[in-house]
C-alpha cells in the first residue's frame, strides 16, 4: 500500500514539473516573438524612413510638375485640327486710326426724287386693279387703281367729262366752218376753240379704255412702300393712293441728342444697324455723303437732325428705324477689335489670346467707344497679340470645361 502511494506521488510531481517547464518555455517564446515583432516593426519604420529619403528626387519631380501646371493656370486647349475645323481665325493687334463716335437712333427714308405718290385723277370710289401689297414691284405706267363715280353724287365724272368734251368738240368744228363765211365772229370762234381744248384736256386726263372708271397709273417703276386707301374707299381728286420708291438712293436721318451739338461739325460719315439683321452698314462703302445737320432743335424735340444719303446696294427697307453710329474726328494709334471678338460676363469683358497653335488664354479687357463694327480697347492687350475673332464661342466652351493643354499633362 505504501509503495503504491509513493509511485502515485512520484508521477504527480513529475507531471507538475513538466507542466511548469512548458509554461516557462511558452512565455519565453511569446516574449521572444513579441520582441522580434517590435524589432521588425522598428526596422520597418526605419525602412520606411529610408524609403522616403530614397524617393526624395521623385517628390521634387512631382513638385516641378505641379509648378509647371500652375504656370499654365487658366490655359485653354483645343484638340489638334479643331481650330481649322470650326473656322477659328485670329487678328493680330495693330494700333491704327479710330474715329470718335456718337451713338444715337435714326431712320431710313427714300431720297428726294426717288419717291413718287400716285393720286386720284378724279373723285370717286377706289377699285384695285389687282391685289397690291406693300413691297410689291411695279413698272412704269402700271395701272394700280381705277376710280369710278358711278352711282355716286352726280354720277360718273369720267362720263360727264366725255359728254362735255364731245359737246365742246362739236361746237368748235361748227364754228370753224362758219368763221370762214363770217357767219360767226372771230371772237366766238376763239371762245369755242378754247372751250374745246379745255374739255379735251380734262377728258384725256380721266379717259380710259376701261369703262368702269379712270385709271391711276405708276409714273415710274419701283416698289410700293405705302398704300393709303382700301378697296371701296371714296376719295376726292388729288387724294394720295400709293407711294412708290425706286430704292436706288436712300437717306439716313439721325436724331442726335442736343448735348452733342458742338460736335456735329466734325461728323464725316456714319454706320448703322437695322433691326432685321445684324449687319453693320457703312456709308463709306455705299457712296454715302453728309447732306446737312440741323442748326437747332425743333420746338417739341430734344434732338438735332443729321442727314446723309447713300446708294442702296442692299435690300434696305425705307422707313426702318436703325441704330446709328456717327463718325467724327480721327484718332491715331488706337487699339481696336471686331465686335464679335468680345465676350461679356457679369459686366466684365474678355477676349481670347492665342498662345500657340492649339493653346489660348482668357484675358480681361477694358473697352471704349464702338462704331458698330469695331470697339476700342483701352487696356488688357498689346500690339502683336493674336486675338480670336471667329470661333470665340467654341474657345469659350473649352475654357468653361477647364481643359488644360495635353502637352502639359503628366501621367506616371
- Per-residue pLDDT reduced to its tens digit, 254-308: 999 989 999 999 999 999 999 888 789 999 999 999 999 876 665 557 899 999 9
Q: 10 Å Cβ neighbour count for 184?
A: 17
Q: Region 29-48: what's the mean pLDDT?
A: 41
Q: Cα 96 to chain center, whole Å? A: 25
Which is nearest to 349 in space by CA: 386, 390, 394, 379? 379
CA distances from 6 to 10, 18, 60 (A): 6, 19, 81
Domain boundaries, the chain: 2-54, 77-95+335-408, 100-111+248-330, 115-245
What is the pLDDT, as a whole number, of residue 76? 83
What is the pLDDT, as a whole number, of residue 309? 92
Q: Cα 152 to chain center, whole Å? A: 53
Confidence of residue 342 (pLDDT cuts 50, 70, 90): very high
Local structure of 60: helix, strand or coil:
helix
**Whole-number mean pLDDT of the chain?**
78
pLDDT, one tens digit per residue, over 195-228 is: 888 888 877 766 654 445 688 999 888 888 889 9
Q: Which CATH number fits domain 100-111+248-330: 2.40.30.170, 3.40.50.410, 3.90.320.10, 3.40.605.10?
A: 2.40.30.170
CA distances from 330 to 107, 307, 327 (A): 25, 20, 8
CA distances from 84 to 87, 198, 249, 253, 394 (A): 5, 77, 41, 42, 12
- Higher pLDDT: 409 or 311? It is 311
Which is nearest to 352 in space by CA: 390, 379, 383, 403? 390
The count of C-alpha atoms lying within 13 angstroms of the C-alpha of 383, restricted to the half-sphere facing its C-beta, is 5
CA distances from 228 to 118, 133, 225 (A): 10, 11, 10
Q: Which three cell numbers stand for residue 346?
A: 457679369
Checking if the pLDDT of 190 tops 70, the result is yes
What is the pLDDT, as a whole number, of residue 387? 95
CA distances from 283 to 51, 112, 253, 270, 311 (A): 77, 18, 12, 6, 9
Q: Name the architecture of domain 77-95+335-408.
A: Beta Barrel (2.40)
Residue whose entry in the numeric block shows the C-alpha cell 481649322: 84
Local structure of 293: helix, strand or coil:
strand
CA distances from 128 to 48, 109, 216, 396 (A): 102, 26, 10, 56
DSSP at 105: E
Q: Name the architecture of domain 115-245.
A: Beta Barrel (2.40)
Amino acid at each position: 500500500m505504501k509503495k503504491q502511494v509513493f509511485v502515485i506521488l512520484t508521477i504527480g510531481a513529475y507531471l507538475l514539473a513538466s507542466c511548469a517547464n512548458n509554461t516557462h518555455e511558452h512565455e519565453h517564446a511569446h516574449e521572444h516573438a513579441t520582441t522580434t515583432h517590435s524589432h521588425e516593426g522598428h526596422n520597418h519604420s526605419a525602412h520606411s524612413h529610408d524609403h522616403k529619403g530614397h524617393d526624395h528626387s521623385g517628390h521634387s519631380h512631382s513638385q516641378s510638375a505641379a509648378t509647371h501646371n500652375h504656370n499654365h493656370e487658366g490655359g485653354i486647349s483645343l484638340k489638334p485640327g479643331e481650330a481649322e475645323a470650326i473656322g477659328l481665325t485670329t487678328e493680330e493687334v495693330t494700333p491704327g486710326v479710330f474715329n470718335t463716335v456718337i451713338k444715337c437712333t435714326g431712320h431710313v427714308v427714300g431720297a428726294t426724287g426717288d419717291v413718287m405718290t400716285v393720286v386720284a385723277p378724279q373723285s370717286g370710289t377706289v377699285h384695285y386693279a389687282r391685289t397690291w401689297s406693300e413691297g410689291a414691284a411695279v413698272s412704269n405706267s402700271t395701272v394700280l387703281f381705277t376710280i369710278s363715280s358711278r352711282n355716286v353724287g352726280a354720277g360718273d365724272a369720267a362720263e360727264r367729262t366725255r359728254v362735255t368734251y364731245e359737246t365742246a368738240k362739236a361746237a368748235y368744228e361748227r364754228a370753224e366752218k362758219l368763221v370762214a363765211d363770217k357767219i360767226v365772229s372771230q371772237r366766238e370762234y376763239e371762245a369755242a376753240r378754247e372751250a374745246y381744248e379745255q374739255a379735251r384736256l380734262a377728258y384725256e386726263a380721266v379717259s380710259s379704255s376701261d369703262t368702269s372708271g379712270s385709271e391711276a397709273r405708276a409714273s415710274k417703276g419701283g416698289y410700293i412702300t405705302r398704300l393709303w386707301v382700301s378697296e371701296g374707299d371714296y376719295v376726292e381728286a388729288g387724294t394720295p393712293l400709293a407711294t412708290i420708291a425706286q430704292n436706288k438712293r436712300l437717306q439716313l436721318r439721325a436724331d442726335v441728342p442736343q448735348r452733342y451739338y458742338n460736335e456735329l461739325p466734325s461728323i464725316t460719315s456714319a454706320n448703322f444697324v437695322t433691326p432685321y439683321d445684324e449687319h453693320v452698314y457703312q456709308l463709306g462703302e455705299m457712296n454715302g455723303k453728309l447732306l446737312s445737320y440741323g442748326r437747332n432743335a425743333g420746338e417739341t424735340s430734344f434732338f438735332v437732325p443729321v442727314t446723309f444719303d447713300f446708294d442702296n446696294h442692299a435690300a434696305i427697307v425705307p422707313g426702318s428705324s436703325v441704330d446709328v453710329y456717327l463718325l467724327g474726328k480721327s484718332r491715331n494709334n488706337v487699339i481696336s477689335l471686331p465686335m464679335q471678338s468680345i465676350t461679356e460676363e457679369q459686366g466684365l469683358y474678355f477676349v481670347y489670346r492665342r498662345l500657340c497653335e492649339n493653346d489660348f488664354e482668357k484675358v480681361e479687357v477694358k473697352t471704349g467707344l464702338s462704331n458698330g463694327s469695331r470697339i476700342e480697347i483701352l487696356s488688357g492687350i498689346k500690339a502683336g497679340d493674336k486675338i480670336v475673332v471667329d470661333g470665340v464661342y467654341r474657345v469659350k466652351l473649352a475654357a468653361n470645361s477647364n481643359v488644360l493643354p495635353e502637352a502639359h499633362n503628366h501621367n506616371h
